A and B are shown apart, each in its own frame.
Chain A
Amino acid sequence: MTAFLVVTAITLLAVAAILYVIRGRSAPVRSLDELTARSKPVDLEAFRNLVSVEEEAYLRESLPPRQFRRVQRKRMLAAAEYVRRASHNAALLVTLGESVRSSNDPQLAEAATELVNSAIQMRLTAILVLLCIGIRIVFPQTKLSLARLTDDYERLRGYLSAVGRLKAPADMGRIEAAL
């Protein structure tokens, strides 16, 4: 009975997931304006501060162990929110890049391809970083580097700038501020 119920529940969930994807496929980001409306701002400086090794070492020395673990958990939860935002923005950039890739302008198409690849890389990095953050929330004493995410996000912004310069140069400030 248990196996029957488990298998039936999983298959229903799987069919629901497929239907959800089929419905959602019609809503990609198609323009830079739409991107600024749907993106979530990421404060990279604040994120760097949250995952800074020096900052962590300073807190470890200045606070009693129990308080350090509590503070460190809160810092990691905040960092996780930044990662989720960065990952969300990367997903938007994949769909934007996909829509621009078919452009007749070869320069724009190439820039869009770079943007898509970089955004995919960012999404994959975000999974690993979230995993590391999860470990650090459970075991605050663990030392795992999370700095890779900022490098990937900076690179992603760079590729978006390349697309933006070709597609809507006057809006670059607004687009960069949105990310």
Chain B
Amino acid sequence: MVFHVFTWCLGPVVQTIIATVMYRRGAHREYPLFFGYTLFVLVTSVIQLIMVFGQKKGFASYEAYFWFFWICEAVGHLLVFWLLFTVFRSSFAPYPRLNAISSTLYLTTTAAMLAFAIGVAVMSPKPDSHWLISSILSLDRSSELLRGGLMVFLIVFSNWLGVRLPHFQFGIAVGFGVGACLDVAAIAFRTHMGQSANVIYSTLRSVSYDLTTLIWLYYVLAPAREPVASTVPSHDEVRAWNRSFKEMLQR
């Protein structure tokens, strides 16, 4: 129980730190969408927590919580895909050749991942008797597959090209990529095991969210390592040093 509460609380706490650090460093101007997403998750988490307590105290209904939760989920998913598209576009923006094809790459990857998600949905069993739970799990898995696929493609493709993504942008991509992969594994586990795995599933999802926020926190706090030009002296430089050394000896 304590571990469950800890994993539930850790994510919002870390996101509060991320939002504070970003605001203090002025990074919210550079990454407004990510900052907005962080605030959105924070505010909705707090409201949801109040509504959960409200149900016990009698000032909030389960129906209100249900609708609020699912509307937030839908808006959150839309925000994430908008954010991923922005990360995709801005990662390739400094390179004219890649900038020209970035939208095509995004759409192609999305289409490929959608086809894969549909394939997985068709192959997966439907252990829940309630069609709504099965459909939500299937939709959630498809969304996570899409998110993970887009970010893994961005990271691997840019690395294959030799292109260096900006430090924090890389961190956002890694966070979403790793988080989505763990979420997909958790959903696959839940779908395979059925309702008996509900507790493990919910803990795994919380851990995945915590890990995502911790990755972002690392990239917000750690200084960017800029490429250092010419750490090894060139032949020209060595020859110039030799000349100076000889001149010094002749004096």
Q: Is the CB of B181 within 8 A of A4?
A: no
Q: Is B137 engaged at the interface, CB distance under 8 Å to the other chain?
A: no
Q: Is the CB of B95 within 8 A of A28?
A: no
Q: Is the CB of A171 within 8 A of B235?
A: yes
User: How many interface residues does chain B have, given as a range?
Assistant: 35 or more
Of the candidates B96, B229, B232, B235, the one whose C-beta lies within 8 Å of that of A103 is B229
Q: How many residues of A contact B (CB 8 A)?
A: 48
Q: Is the CB of A21 within 8 A of B155?
A: yes
Q: Is the interface of A mostly helix, strand, loop or mixed?
A: helix
- Convert A29-66 into 0s and 1s, putting 1 for each residue whose CB lies closer than 8 angstroms to a CB of B: 01111100000000000000000000000000000000
Of the candidates A14, A28, A92, A121, the one whose C-beta lies within 8 Å of that of B164 is A28
- Convert B142-176 into 0s and 1s, putting 1 for each residue whose CB lies closer than 8 angstroms to a CB of A: 00000010001001100111111000001000100
Stretch at the interface among B42-50, B71-79, B220-228, B241-249: B220-228
Q: Is the CB of B235 within 8 A of A168?
A: yes
Q: Is the CB of B232 within 8 A of A25?
A: no
Closest residue on chain A to residue B159 by CB atoms: A21
Shortest distance from the beta carbon of A88 to any chain B beta carbon, whole Å:
10
Q: Is A150 engaged at the interface, CB distance under 8 Å to the other chain?
A: no
Stretch at the interface among B5-13, B15-23, B183-191: B183-191
Closest residue on chain B to residue A90 by CB atoms: B162
CA distance A25 to B125 in the complex (A): 40
CA distance A32 to B236 in the complex (A): 11
Shortest distance from the beta carbon of B95 to any chain A beta carbon, whole Å:
6
Shortest distance from the beta carbon of B210 to any chain A beta carbon, whole Å:
16
Q: Is the CB of A4 within 8 A of B192?
A: yes
Shortest distance from the beta carbon of B213 to any chain A beta carbon, whole Å:
16
Q: Is the CB of B178 within 8 A of A18?
A: yes
- Convert A1-23 into 0s and 1s, putting 1 for each residue whose CB lies closer than 8 angstroms to a CB of B: 11110111001101101100110
4 closest A-B pairs by beta carbon, nearest first, are: A94-B162, A3-B123, A99-B227, A4-B192
| Chain A residues at the B interface, C-beta cutoff of 8 Å | 1-4, 6-8, 11-12, 14-15, 17-18, 21-22, 24-26, 28, 30-34, 90-95, 98-100, 102-103, 116-117, 119-121, 123-124, 167-171, 174
| Chain B residues at the A interface, C-beta cutoff of 8 Å | 95-98, 120, 123-125, 141, 148, 152, 155-156, 159-164, 170, 174, 177-178, 181-182, 184-185, 188-189, 191-192, 225-236, 239
